């Protein structure tokens, strides 16, 4: 399988996941042009896409779906709540074929090509948000962002992975001292907001195992985080935990907010 972060940040998200035969996106929250440029890294084009799996209806996850739908007719999978939020709430996507939407249910697998896709619930202030785990020929990867908190249910869905893109949205101290309004700060810090660097590290400690080959920290806030800070904070949490693993043993990196990263193969 392959994983590539095309963009991951509070202003736009698009992640490529694929096998030799099947190519999908998790979210399309950037322009179609940027997505097409990112897909070149995986040596595919928009015509090769089998599906887009949408996590929720916020603009930084959907702003490119209208153009992709019109240009390539890509099927789009999302929960009924997310589809309703897009169709009735996102008015700036232009005209596109709503029949491209395929409703899914959390905890019910979906087969697309040779990818088995498992949607699971996340805690976020959207209508019916979910994250996704993908499996093909024994390899497993998950994209899990926009989580205000995590639970044993989340941990169970992230066990046994070979690669993960996991949210490390903000540094708590930067957020508290920053320019956001009190209400926005409380939203981000709430159980329906975003995962902090510290909590990202705590969650990782619960899912580390010998075959977890790649860890990408993603969805970093531009205003309330820095790549180096996210990396070092998660690293400290891992090294402080009572596990057999140290951060130096792991292939961990930070996904860029605006540029496509390396295609990771596993």
Q: Kindly report the backbone phi and psi dihedral angles of residue 209, in degrees, each rounded to the nearest multiple of 5, phi listed first.
A: -155, 170
Which pLDDT band holds residue 66 (cuts at 50, 70, 90)? very high
Q: What is the mean pLDDT of residues 151-169?
A: 98
Residues 82-87: contacts with CB within 8 Å, 24+ apart?
Answer: 82/54, 82/55, 82/56, 82/57, 82/126, 82/127, 82/128, 82/129, 82/130, 84/127, 85/56, 85/57, 85/126, 85/127, 85/128, 86/54, 86/57, 86/62
Please count the CA atoms within 13 angstroms of the CA of 224 that sit on its side-chain side: 27
pLDDT at 131: 98
- Nearest of 32, 86, 33, 34 to residue 55 by alpha carbon: 86
pLDDT at 264: 98
pLDDT at 176: 97
Q: What is the mean pLDDT of residues 78-96?
A: 96
Please count the CA atoms within 13 angstroms of the CA of 216 that sit on its side-chain side: 30
Query: Quick count: other Cβ atoms within 10 Å of Cβ 12?
Result: 22
Residues 22, 164, 167: CA angle, nearest 5 degrees: 120
pLDDT at 42: 94
Rounded to the nearest integer, the mean pLDDT of the chain is 97
pLDDT in tens, 211-223: 999 999 999 999 9
Distance between CA atoms of 180 and 223, rounded to whole angstroms? 9
Sole residue written with tokens 């996941």: 17
pLDDT at 237: 98
pLDDT at 36: 98
pTM strictly above 0.75: yes
Token pair of 49 as six digits:
């896409």
pLDDT at 85: 98
Domain boundaries, the chain: 2-265
Q: Which residues lie closer than 8 Å to 173 by C-beta, 6 or more apart?
A: none
- DSSP β-bridge partners for residue 252: 215
Percent of the chain whose predicted confidence (pLDDT) is above 90 = 99
- DSSP β-bridge partners for residue 135: 116, 140
Q: What is the mean pLDDT of residues 14-27?
A: 97
* DSSP 8-state assignment for residue 95: S
Distance between CA atoms of 138 and 86, rounded to whole angstroms? 33
**Which architecture, in CATH terms, is 2-265?**
4-Layer Sandwich (3.60)
Distance of CA 200 to the CA centre of its chain: 13
Which pLDDT band holds residue 25 (cuts at 50, 70, 90)? very high
**H-only helix segments in the chain:** 32-39, 59-62, 65-72, 80-89, 152-157, 172-177, 182-189, 197-207, 227-240
């Amino acid at each position: 399988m392959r994983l590539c972060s095309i963009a991951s940040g509070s202003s736009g998200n698009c992640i490529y996941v694929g096998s030799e035969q099947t190519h999908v996106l998790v979210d399309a929250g950037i322009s179609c042009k940027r997505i097409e440029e990112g897909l070149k890294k995986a040596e595919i084009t928009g015509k090769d896409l089998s599906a887009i799996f949408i996590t929720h209806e916020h603009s930084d996850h959907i702003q490119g779906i209208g153009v992709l739908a019109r240009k390539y007719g890509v099927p789009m999978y999302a929960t009924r709540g997310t589809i309703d939020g897009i169709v009735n709430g996102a008015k700036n996507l232009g005209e596109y074929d709503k029949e491209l939407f395929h409703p899914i249910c959390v905890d019910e697998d979906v087969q697309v090509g040779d990818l088995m896709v498992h949607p699971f619930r996340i805690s976020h202030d959207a209508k019916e948000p979910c994250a996704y785990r993908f499996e093909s020929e024994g390899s497993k990867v998950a994209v899990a962002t926009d989580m205000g908190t995590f639970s044993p249910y989340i941990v169970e869905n992230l066990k046994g992975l070979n690669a993960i893109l996991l949210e490390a949205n903000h540094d708590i101290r930067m957020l508290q001292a920053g320019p956001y309004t009190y209400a926005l700060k409380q939203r981000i810090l709430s159980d329906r907001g975003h995962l902090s660097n510290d909590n990202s590290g705590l969650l990782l400690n619960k899912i580390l195992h010998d075959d977890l080959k790649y860890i990408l920290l993603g969805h970093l806030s531009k205003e309330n985080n820095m790549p180096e800070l996210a990396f070092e904070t998660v690293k400290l949490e891992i090294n402080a935990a009572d596990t057999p693993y140290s951060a130096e043993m792991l292939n961990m990196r930070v996904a860029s907010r605006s540029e496509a990263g390396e295609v990771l193969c596993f």
